[in-house]
């Protein structure tokens, strides 16, 4: 990953931060230093470092420079990262990550200690942190503690939610136990329309075309024109016989297999698909149907004969 020197924590012009590397402005690994090598950087992003190891060495040199006065005073600062622990980026185990410490003021509590940020745009920054999870000073400032009234209100809400969920579950169980051996017309229509609704727009269109229902557009509540597939299906389902309604449920379960992926439109129908298995159960000759389709489409797409008109050739005078 390339690093933007214009937002780096150190001075890119400093020759002495890492003497062996020198100034970043004269470094050939900076994109703006060699426009022929990095043509995409011309006019933009001219200060991108392409050497992560060198960049990190300068960050660490800056950290050591800032820490030196503290160490000379006999204090050993903690090393902290502004990144969460899952973005450790190979840091050692002695590095504290975001969430493992709290920002504090010097001597604000008995547990506050000096620390230095070792990465990011704030690398080299000296701050004080508290690591004690039970510190009464910083636990209140960084963790919201609800009042007794709020705890009581939350408990009531949690109880109400549990009551509602358990009640609905018991209603479902009671209905399930009372279902007849043969579903009523109302139940079948409910199942069919709910199933259709869950299939999504593309399958709605496929089923409409399979049944040759008129896809008439109507004005929507938000002012545009669209096909109300659910409304069309509802009218059709109400008009179906019991047998037709059961067949409609089967068609709904097969509609998604009509999809041919655009990245491989010639992909054959999977043998374990619902449509292929249904065709096998009902002894449908799929090979014959494929040949019939090829023949029909070949007749419709015969190449047209190009008629060439003879041009009169004029003789030169």
Quick one: which of 31, 7, 17 has its CA closest to 59?
A: 17
Mean pLDDT of the chain, nearest integer: 85
What pLDDT score was predicted for residue 309? 54
Strand order in the sheet with 126-130: 95-96, 78-80, 113-117, 126-130, 102-104
Q: Answer for the pair 252, 192: CB distance below 8 angstroms, yes or no.
A: yes
Instruction: Identify the band that residue 307 occupies on the pLDDT scale cut at 50, 70 and 90.
Output: low
Which segment of 101-115, 131-145, 182-196, 214-228 scores lowest on mean pLDDT? 131-145
| Angle, CA 97 vertex, CA 91 and CA 103 arms, to 5° | 140
pLDDT of residue 291: 93
Nearest to 256 by CA among 214, 202, 213, 212: 202
Q: What is the structure's pLDDT at 64?
A: 92
How would you label 268-306 residue by residue, b for 16+ Cβ within 10 Å and e otherwise? Answer: eeeeeeebbeebeeeeeeeeeeeeeeeeeeeeeeeeeee
Read off the pLDDT band of 87 (50, 70, 90).
low
Structure tokens that stand for 193 in this block = 């329309």
Place 1 in a pLDDT band, splitting at 50, 70 and 90.
very low
pLDDT in tens, 93-136: 688 887 788 888 888 888 888 999 998 888 999 998 888 777 87
**For the ranges 169-178, 269-278, 294-303, which has the lowest average pLDDT?**
294-303
The conformation of residue 77, written as its DSSP 8-state character, comes to -
pLDDT in tens, 62-71: 999 999 999 8
The model's pLDDT over 3-44, given as tens digits with 9 standing for 90+, comes to 788 888 899 888 889 988 888 888 888 877 666 555 555 445
At residue 2, the pLDDT reads 57
Quick one: pLDDT at residue 282?
A: 95
Residue with tokens 């229902």: 213
The dihedral region occupied by 239, where left means phi > 0, alpha psi between -120 and 50, and beta the remainder, is alpha
Torsion, Cα 231 237 239 241, to 10 degrees, reads 180
- CA nearest to 172, candidates 183, 164, 184, 182: 164
- Please state the rounded mean pLDDT for residues 76-93: 74
Cβ(229)–Cβ(213) under 8 Å? no
Provide the angle, in degrees to the nearest 10, between the axes of the packed helices 274-281 and 242-254.
130
- 313 or 260, higher pLDDT: 260
Residue 247 phi, psi dihedral angles, 5° rounding? -65, -35
With 0.85 as the threshold, say if the pTM is over it.
no
- Whether the per-residue pLDDT at 198 is higher than 90: the answer is yes
How crowded is residue 106: how many other Cβ atoms within 10 Å of its Cβ? 9
User: What is the H or E stretch that residue 280 is in?
Assistant: helix 274-281
Q: How far apart are CA 85 and CA 106, in angstroms?
A: 25
Give the side-chain half-sphere CA count within 13 A for 293. Answer: 6
- pLDDT, residue 209, reads 94
Per-position DSSP letters for 205-269, written without gaps between them: HHHHHHHT----EEE-TTS-EEE-HHHHHHHHHHHS-HHHHHHHHHHHHHGGGG---TT-TTPPP
Quote the crossing angle between the two packed helices 229-239 and 201-211, to the nearest 10°: 40
């Amino acid at each position: 990953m390339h690093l933007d020197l214009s937002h780096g924590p150190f001075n890119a012009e400093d020759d002495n931060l890492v003497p062996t590397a020198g100034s970043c402005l004269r470094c050939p690994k900076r994109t703006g230093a060699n426009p022929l090598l990095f043509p995409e950087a011309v006019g933009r992003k001219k200060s991108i470092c392409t050497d992560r190891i060198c960049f990190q060495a300068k960050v660490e040199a800056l950290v050591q420079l800032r820490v030196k006065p503290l160490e000379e005073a006999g204090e050993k600062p903690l090393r902290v990262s502004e990144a969460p622990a899952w973005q450790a980026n190979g840091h050692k185990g002695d590095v504290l990550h975001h969430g493992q410490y709290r920002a504090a003021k010097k001597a604000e509590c008995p547990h506050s200690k000096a620390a230095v940020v070792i990465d990011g745009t704030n690398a080299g920054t000296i701050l004080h942190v508290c690591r004690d999870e039970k510190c009464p000073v910083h636990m209140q400032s960084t963790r919201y503690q609800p009042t007794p009234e709020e705890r009581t209100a939350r408990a009531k809400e949690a109880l109400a939610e549990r009551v509602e969920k358990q009640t609905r579950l018991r209603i479902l169980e009671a209905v399930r136990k009372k279902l007849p051996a043969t579903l009523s017309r109302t139940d079948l229509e409910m199942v069919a329309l709910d199933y259709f609704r869950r299939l999504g727009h593309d399958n709605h269109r496929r089923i409409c075309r399979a049944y040759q229902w008129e896809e008439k557009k109507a004005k929507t509540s938000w002012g545009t024109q669209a096909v109300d597939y659910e409304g069309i299906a509802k009218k059709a389902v109400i008009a179906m016989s019991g047998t037709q309604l059961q067949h409609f449920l089967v068609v709904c379960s097969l509609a998604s297999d009509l999809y041919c992926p655009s990245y491989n439109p010639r992909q054959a129908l999977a043998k374990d698909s619902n449509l292929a298995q249904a065709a096998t159960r009902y002894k449908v000759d799929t090979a014959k149907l494929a040949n019939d389709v090829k023949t029909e489409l070949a007749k419709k797409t015969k190449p047209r004969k190009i008629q060439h008109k003879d041009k009169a050739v004029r003789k030169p005078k």
